[in-house]
A and B are shown apart, each in its own frame.
Chain A
Amino acid sequence: MTPGSIKPVPILIVDDLPENLLSLEAVLRRDGLEFIKARSGTEALEILLRQEVALALLDVQMPEMDGFELAETMRGSERTRHIPIIFLTAGSNDRTRRFRGYEAGAVDFLEKPIEADILRSKVAVFSELYMQRRQLAVQRDNLKAFAEENLRLLKDSRDNALALKEADSRKDEFLATLAHELRNPLAPIRNGLQILRMAPEGPRAEEVRGMMDRQLTHMVRLIDDLLDVSRVSRGRIDLRKVRMSLQEAVSSALETSRPLIEANEHKLTLDIPEDPLWVEGDLTRLAQVVSNLLNNAAKYTAPGGHIRLTVRRQNGHADIEVADNGLGIDADMLPRVFDLFTQADRHLDRSQGGLGIGLALVSKLVEMHGGTSRAASEGHGKGSTFTVSLPLIDEQGAAIGKALQKMQKKTMAPMKVLIVDDNVDSAQTSLWMLDLMGHKGTVAHEGVRALEIAHDLQPDVVLLDIGMPGMDGYEVCRQLRRMPEMKNKTVIAQTGWGQESDRQKAFAAGFDHHITKPVSLDLLTQLLADIRLTAAKAGEPQHG
């Protein structure tokens, strides 16, 4: 205990004569003691109601309530029962009175005239006792607080353990589902292999090979989904956002999901406005969002059920709504449907099962587009409605977009593109793709030659492989950037590695873009159009 926290020990002195009170206080006064004085039993009781005291020194002979009566009253109340009492008597040491005093709860008698030393030492003993009791009380309070804190910590840690356990069991369930989902296509593949081993030739073998090819494609898709969801949850996915109409995404999604819907003989109703709803989005990813919603509806709706896809404008937003009359979702599952690895009804292996990642992907991808996802269901067996809201680009923006697209067409004069790749086949196919797009391509197979050509040709765009023998792509890019004529031209890194660290390294070396092999014709077209657009916006006359 710190000295500052030591409160004085309160001593109650009761005597009807003020001079007695003063002289008692004078005798007893020392540091650490505080004297509370009362001139009557009534006043003493009032004080005792207000505060606790360590010891009461009571004069026996007082008018109205004498010392014994006061003591009896004190013993009668729980609050004051344990206060030690010392009676101060004026020579009346007859046995009867003394006995009455003890009966009333006295611990001691002192006869007047008081001997100062004796009184002081008795008071010191009771003060000491009082302080010890007070200290015990403080320790007890501290212990109680500790115990409460411990209880709280215990509860916290139990809650955490429970959450961990739940996450763990969800992970276990997910792994079991994953194994199951991978076995589904594996089963016919293994059958196929066994059939081919026994009968490798003939039309049936041809059919088996086709089947195995389809099942493998299905497995690859599952694994791609898995990788996707892991990339998305770690924020490692890049959206290629362009101005696009939602209808484009919807029609692409329908193409993907239609076979599943038809296989289940679901009745599909479409309600899609004709006027394009413009959004800033990644076509592939938004198509994936819609298609995942459709697949989900198909999975959880009995054959012959209804699925309705509605697209509508809703104050600055577009709502895409997929409703079915299938299995529905229990109220307690609703808040979790967009969580990773959440799946209803695991133990029946539904043929169209899945990994429980489709909706998680939906919500993450929609979030990345600045939109929101929600699910509604009246409960089990009552169907579900999933709605995705995406921000629309305003009319003004759409107009600008159209203008830019026109400009893009007008200025889509051939660009000069330098292809640098040590892989001859890769360079050749890139050249063919550029040729198809109407651009003018030139090829270099190594860095030094690339720098020479760049100097002579001053290409608008350089498509540069990273992993080349001799001077690698990073070095070629750095040297290109040192050439005044190449300073503001576009340099694109082309590599088999799509990790964030590889991208960072490429940007640090001075690349404008980073694309992963294999590069599709669509992607290259899009990228070159973007480059052209950017140049047009910046007002830089590339081909006067």
Chain B
Amino acid sequence: MADGPGRPNDRNEPMRIMIVEDNEALAQTTGWLVEMIGYDYKLAANGKAALASYADYKPDVFMIDIGLPGMNGYDLCKELKSRPDTGGVVFIAQTGWGEAEHRRMTAEAGFDHHLVKPLYLETLESILGEIAKTR
């Protein structure tokens, strides 16, 4: 089965989530949680690494930390969305900031969801579940 545009991953395989987070402990534990819920994950420590590896991995979802070193989460989201091969991919911002102003900034950058750290397993499960249903 060939991958069509806007359909990076086959619907019979577990959904793929690329986690872009420079805090190693947070990245790894989020990955494990995603795996326990039943999805596949790949970690990228910064924007550069994400840009270099997403095309091979073909994620359905990006979970992106805002305060990344080098290229920040807003810019990474904008950059990824401008690429032709990310149509239909869902973008989740993960940040320590939860004020309305920050939500507006993530929305403007093109994120579909805004999650405030620390994550509740239930929240993560339900958001990823919703995304999986609409695949």
Residue B118 interfacial (CB < 8 Å): yes
Stretch of A46-54, A180-188, A395-403 on the interface side:
A180-188
Closest to A346 in B: B97
Establish whether residues A302 and B96, one from each chain, have CB atoms under 8 Å apart when the complex forms: no
The minimal Cβ–Cβ distance linking A265 to chain B, given in whole angstroms, is: 10
Residues from chain A with Cβ under 8 Å of B117 in the complex:
183-184, 186-187
Q: Which residue of A lies closest to B117 (CB)?
A: A187
Q: How far is the CA of A192 from the CA of B30 in the complex (A)?
A: 9
- Choose from B28, B36, B102, B119 the contact partner of A198 (Cβ within 8 Å): B36
B95 pairs with A187, CB closer than 8 A? no
How would residues 348 to 374 of chain A score, 1 for a CB under 8 Å from any chain B CB and 0 otherwise?
A: 111111000000000000000000000
B69 and chain A: residue at smallest CB distance? A303
Distance, CA A184 to CA B118, complexed state (A): 8
Q: Does B99 contact A (CB under 8 A)?
A: yes
Contact A194–B33 (Cβ < 8 Å): yes
Is A302 within 8 A of B69, CB to CB?
A: yes
Number of B residues, CB within 8 Å of A:
29
- Do residues A211 and B28 form an inter-chain contact, with CB atoms below 8 A? yes
Do A195 and B32 have beta carbons less than 8 Å apart?
yes
Contact B29–A191 (Cβ < 8 Å): yes
Q: By CB atoms of chain B within 10 A, which of A184, A189, A204, A214 has the most?
A: A184
Partner of A191, one of B22, B26, B67: B26
A208 in contact (CB, < 8 A): yes
Measured between beta carbons, the chain A residues less than 8 angstroms from B28 are: 188, 211
Query: Which residue of the partner chain, among A176, A189, A194, A199, contacts B99 with CB atoms under 8 Å?
Result: A176
List A contacts of B72 (CB < 8 A): 348
Complexed CA–CA distance, A81 and B101 (Å)? 68
Please measure, in the bound complex, the distance between the C-alpha atom of A204 and the C-alpha atom of B29, giving whole angstroms: 10
> Which residues between 260 and 304 of chain A lie within 8 Å of chain B, taking CB atoms?
264, 302-303
Contact B29 A350 (CB under 8 A): no
Scan residues 1-44 of chain B and give those whose CB is less than 8 A from a CB of chain A: 22-23, 25-26, 28-30, 32-33, 36
Q: State the CA gap A349–B105 with chains docked (Å).
A: 13
CB contact between A349 and one of B30, B33, B97 (< 8 Å): that residue? B97
Distance (Å) between the CB of A322 and the closest chain B CB? 20
Could you tell me the distance between the alpha carbons of A181 and B67 in the complex, rounded to whole angstroms?
A: 12
What secondary structure prevails in chain A residues at the interface with B? Answer: helix
Which residues does chain B contribute within 8 Å of A188, judged by CB atoms? 23, 25-26, 28-29, 118
Q: Cβ of A184: which chain B residues have Cβ within 8 Å of it?
A: 23, 26, 96, 117
Q: Is A190 part of the binding interface, using a Cβ–Cβ cutoff of 8 Å?
A: yes
Chain B 116-130 interface residues, beta-carbon cutoff 8 Å to A? 116-121
**A411 at the A/B interface (Cβ < 8 Å)?**
no
Residues of A within 8 A of B63 (CB): none
Per-residue contact bits, chain A 422-437, to B (CB 8 Å; 1 contact, 0 not):
0000000000000000
How far is A41 from B115 in the complex, measured between Cα atoms in Å? 95
Range for the number of chain A residues in contact with chain B: 20 to 34
B residues in contact with A180, CB < 8 Å = 96-97
* Given known A194-B33, A211-B29, A351-B67, contact A187–B118 (CB-CB < 8 A): yes
Chain A residues contacting B30 (CB-CB under 8 Å) are 191
Given contacts A347-B97, A349-B66, A353-B67, contact A191 B36 (CB under 8 A): no
Q: Is A310 an interface residue (CB 8 A)?
A: no
With A188-B29, A189-B118 known as contacts, the answer to whether A264 contacts B96 (CB < 8 A) is: no
Complex: A214 Cα to B105 Cα, angstroms? 32
Smallest Cβ-Cβ distance to B72: which chain A residue: A348
B122 nearest in chain A by CB position: A194
Using Cβ atoms and an 8 Å threshold, which residues of chain A touch B102? 347
User: Is A247 close to B, CB under 8 A?
Assistant: no
- A325 part of interface (Cβ distance < 8 Å): no
B84 proximal to A (CB < 8 A):
no
Question: Shortest CB–CB separation between residue A24 and chain B, in angstroms?
Answer: 85
The answer to whether residues A195 and B29 also contact, given A183-B117, A190-B119 and a CB cut-off of 8 A, is: yes
Min CB distance B96 to A, Å, is 4
Within 8 Å by CB of B29, from A179, A208, A353, lies A208
A176 to B116 alpha-carbon distance, docked (Å): 13
Interfacial chain A residues near B32, Cβ < 8 Å: 191, 195, 204, 208
Highest count of chain A CB atoms <10 Å: which of B25, B36, B69: B25
Return A184 CB to nearest CB of chain B, in Å.
6
- Asked if A458 is at the interface of the complex by the 8 Å CB criterion, the answer is no
Residue B68 CB within 8 A of the other chain: yes
If the complex has contacts A198-B36, A349-B97, are A191 and B69 also in contact, measured as CB distance less than 8 A? no
Report the minimal beta-carbon distance from B34 to chain A, rounded to whole angstroms. Answer: 10
Taking a contact as CB atoms under 8 Å apart, the answer to whether B33 and A191 are in contact is yes
> For residues 164 through 187 of chain A, which have their beta carbon under 8 Å from a beta carbon of chain B?
176, 179-181, 183-184, 186-187
Interface pairs (29), CB distance under 8 Å: A176-B97, A176-B99, A179-B96, A183-B96, A183-B118, A188-B25, A188-B28, A190-B118, A190-B120, A191-B30, A191-B118, A192-B29, A195-B29, A195-B32, A195-B33, A204-B32, A211-B25, A211-B29, A215-B25, A264-B69, A303-B70, A347-B105, A348-B66, A348-B72, A349-B95, A349-B97, A351-B22, A351-B23, A352-B69
Chain A positions within 8 Å of B, measured between CB atoms, are 176, 179-181, 183-184, 186-192, 194-195, 198-199, 204, 208, 211, 214-215, 264, 302-303, 347-353
- Beyond the given A183-B117, A184-B96, A191-B119, could you list 4 further A-B residue pairs with CB under 8 A, ordered by the A residue number? A184-B26, A186-B118, A195-B29, A208-B29
- Minimum-distance CB pairs A-B, first 6: A349-B67, A191-B29, A187-B117, A187-B118, A190-B118, A188-B25
